[in-house]
């Protein structure tokens, strides 16, 4: 059983929180906005994953959550800190893997050329929701890059950009019944 004080530290009661290296910042700092958006994206991907039966889509969604943890670690760790070298980083190989997954789904899914109204399936709607949160996370990461000079996040931003494309295609596959779902 985890102790209460390990969960409720009261360290944020004055509107501050800590980065991974212990550096304290205001909770409304842009970095915490980016971290919150990435965390919310991971949760939304998790909700979609919970509705997908075990299989390819379920595994791919889990894999994207693992990469989102890397995105969060890069945001939460100042690049000049020695801890930054110790964390796992988003790599070009992560982007290439995501692109391969997207191409596989595109090969078996009809993609309309016009706008899509989400909601043709429950799973597709959850995936589309994750897609929109990923897009918000990307915008916040772009602000970190441009406003804070955090160019170390460029590969992570590229991953988020590709992830939203992948999720768009995956949602269409779900809407077309190409992904088995879990019934509750």
CATH code assigned at 62: 1.20.1200.10
Identify whether the C-beta of residue 162 lies closer than 8 Å to the C-beta of residue 95. yes
Task: Determine the 3-state secondary structure of 20 from DSSP.
Answer: coil
Range of the domain at 134: 27-109+118-175
CA distance 123 to 90: 27
| β-pairing verdict for 16-18 and 24-26 | antiparallel
CA distance 10 to 17: 10
Cα angle for residues 64, 65, 70 (degrees, 5° grid): 95
In a domain, 167, yes or no: yes
In a domain, 19, yes or no: no
Tokens of 17: 């929180």
Per-residue pLDDT of the chain (184 residues; tens, 9 = 90+): 888 877 777 777 878 988 888 889 989 999 999 999 999 999 999 999 999 999 999 999 999 999 999 999 999 999 999 999 999 999 999 999 999 999 999 999 999 888 999 999 999 999 999 999 999 999 999 999 999 999 999 999 999 999 999 999 999 999 999 999 998 8
pLDDT for the residue 4: 82
In a domain, 134, yes or no: yes
In a domain, 126, yes or no: yes
Number of structural domains (the chain) is 1
In a domain, 20, yes or no: no
Identify whether the C-beta of residue 17 lies closer than 8 Å to the C-beta of residue 116. no
pLDDT for the residue 81: 96
In a domain, 14, yes or no: no
pLDDT for the residue 9: 77
In a domain, 72, yes or no: yes
Tokens of 178: 């190409």
Specify the pTM. 0.94
In a domain, 22, yes or no: no
């Amino acid at each position: 059983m985890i102790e209460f004080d390990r969960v409720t530290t009261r360290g944020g009661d004055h509107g501050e929180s800590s980065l991974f290296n212990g550096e304290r910042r205001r909770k409304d700092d842009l970095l915490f906005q980016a971290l919150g958006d990435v965390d919310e994206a991971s949760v939304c991907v998790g909700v979609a994953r919970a509705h997908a039966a075990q299989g390819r889509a379920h595994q791919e969604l889990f894999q994207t959550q693992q990469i989102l943890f890397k995105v969060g670690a890069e945001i939460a760790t100042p690049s000049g800190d020695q801890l930054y070298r110790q964390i796992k980083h988003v790599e070009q190989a992560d982007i290439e893997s995501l692109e391969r997954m997207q191409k596989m789904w595109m090969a078996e899914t009809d993609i309309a050329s016009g706008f899509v109204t989400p909601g043709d399936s429950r799973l597709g709607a959850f995936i589309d929701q994750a897609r929109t949160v990923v897009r918000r996370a990307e915008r916040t990461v772009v602000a970190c890059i441009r406003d804070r000079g955090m160019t170390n996040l460029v590969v992570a931003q590229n991953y988020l950009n590709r992830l939203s494309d992948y999720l768009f295609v995956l949602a269409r596959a779900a809407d077309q019944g190409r992904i088995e779902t879990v019934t509750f």
